[in-house]
Amino acid sequence: MNPDSPLSLFITGASSGLGEALVLAYAAPGVRIGLVARRGHLLKDVGRQAEKAGARVALYEGDVTDKSKMEGIARDFLDHFSAPDLIFANAGQGGGSGYAIERSLMEVNHFGVQNTILPFLPALQEKGSGQIAVISSLAAYRGLPGSGDYCASKAALKAYSDSLRLVLFPFGTTVTIVNPGYIRTEMTRDNPPMPFCWSAGKAAATIRRRLRHRPARIEFPFPMVISVRLLALLPPRWGDYLIRWSRPRKASKDRRIGAK
């Protein structure tokens, strides 16, 4: 199989943002795509666009935090399309404050990825090939003020993906973790100004192009990658000073630890 032209894909978080852009980047005649999202009405619209491009589409309305539901979705996909050539574990949640949101971040961003991938592993191992792309964030490299739970969920995902890559390599399945910077989506529309922000379409095109080579990591944009990598290498005291210096001195009340 040409790695640039997978015949079957499975994509979570497919109803908007980067997930939608990935669907449209891969949709083509002969391609089979399974799409998962919570918002069924938006999912149907994305499915129609993919079908218009010639793809054969299976729509699954569901939440990646529901382990049993995701196992059932995977069984249905395997029954209809067999083991996917490429899985995008893309569904994710942005930051916020309050205990419920903080727990939800880990449930969606980390355990939701496990619920997406694990049901497919026996079929992928039997197939002897396949590719898994885990959408994480450059926030995985360093804890930031007011975003500790979000950064922690992405750091867990980064470590998990590195481990999974080693486990699956002997079976012919590659694992790529994708660490973008800021992407202009529904989830980030209320954010303050975001440096080096990319459109979802540009990000999806970059991911597709780089996945041809099956790398361990895909990270962009370059200036932000260099910044966070260097920040992570600095002694903690130096890194803390640079972060405090670059951010507003007066923290908002809803960013204080324990704020509801």
Whether 248 maps to a domain, the answer reads yes
Query: 65: domain CATH number?
Result: 3.40.50.720
The pLDDT tens digits of the residues spanning 197-216 come to 899 999 999 999 999 999 99
CB–CB of 68/50 below 8 Å?
no
User: Which of the residues 150, 160, 182, 241 is marked catalytic?
Assistant: 150
DSSP string, 15-65: TSHHHHHHHHHH--TT-EEEEEES-HHHHHHHHHHHHHTT-EEEEEE--TT
Span 56-88, pLDDT tens digits: 999 999 999 999 999 999 999 999 999 999 999
Task: Tally the domains of the chain.
Answer: 1
pLDDT of residue 104: 87
**pLDDT tens-digit profile of 107-159?**
999 999 999 999 999 999 999 999 999 999 999 998 777 778 889 999 999 99
Q: Provide mean pLDDT across the span 180-206.
A: 80
User: Would residue 213 be called left, alpha or beta, if left means φ above 0 and alpha means ψ between -120 and 50 degrees?
Assistant: alpha
In a domain, 210, yes or no: yes
The pLDDT of residue 247 is 66
Within a domain: residue 159?
yes
260 found inside a domain: no
Quick check: 2 pLDDT over 50? no
Q: Report the pLDDT value the prediction gives residue 97, as an integer from 0 to 100.
A: 53
* pLDDT of amino acid 98: 56
| 99 included as an active-site residue | no
Query: Residue 102 — very low, low, confident or very high, per pLDDT cuts 50/70/90?
Result: confident
* pLDDT at residue 258, rounded to an integer: 39
pTM of the model: 0.87
Q: Band of the pLDDT at 42, cuts 50, 70, 90? A: very high
Q: Within 13 Å of residue 251, how many CA atoms lie on the same side as its CB? A: 13
C-alpha triplet 21, 22, 25: angle, nearest 5°: 85
pLDDT-based confidence at residue 51 (cuts at 50, 70, 90): very high
Range of the domain at 15: 8-255
Pick the closest to residue 180 from 192, 197, 157, 193 (CA basis): 197
- What is the pLDDT, as a whole number, of residue 254? 43
In a domain, residue 1? The reply is no
Cβ neighbors of 18 (< 8 A, separation 6 or more) are: 90, 135, 180, 183, 185, 200, 203, 204
Quick: pLDDT tens for 236-245: 888 787 877 7
Give me the pLDDT at residue 188, please: 61
3 is a domain residue: no
Average pLDDT score over the chain: 88
Asked whether 58 and 44 are in contact (CB, 8 A), the reply is no
Among 178, 69, 153, residue whose Cα is nearest residue 119: 69
**Does the residue 85 lie in any domain?**
yes
CB 88 within 8 A of CB 35: no
Q: Is the pLDDT of residue 168 over 70?
A: yes
- Would you state the pLDDT for residue 241? 74
Determine the average pLDDT of the residues in 173-193.
81
Work out the pLDDT band at 256, boundaries 50, 70, 90.
Answer: very low
Indicate the pLDDT class of residue 101, thresholds 50, 70 and 90.
Answer: low
54 part of a folded domain: yes
pLDDT digits 0-9 by tens, 220-254? 999 989 988 998 888 888 878 787 777 655 444 44
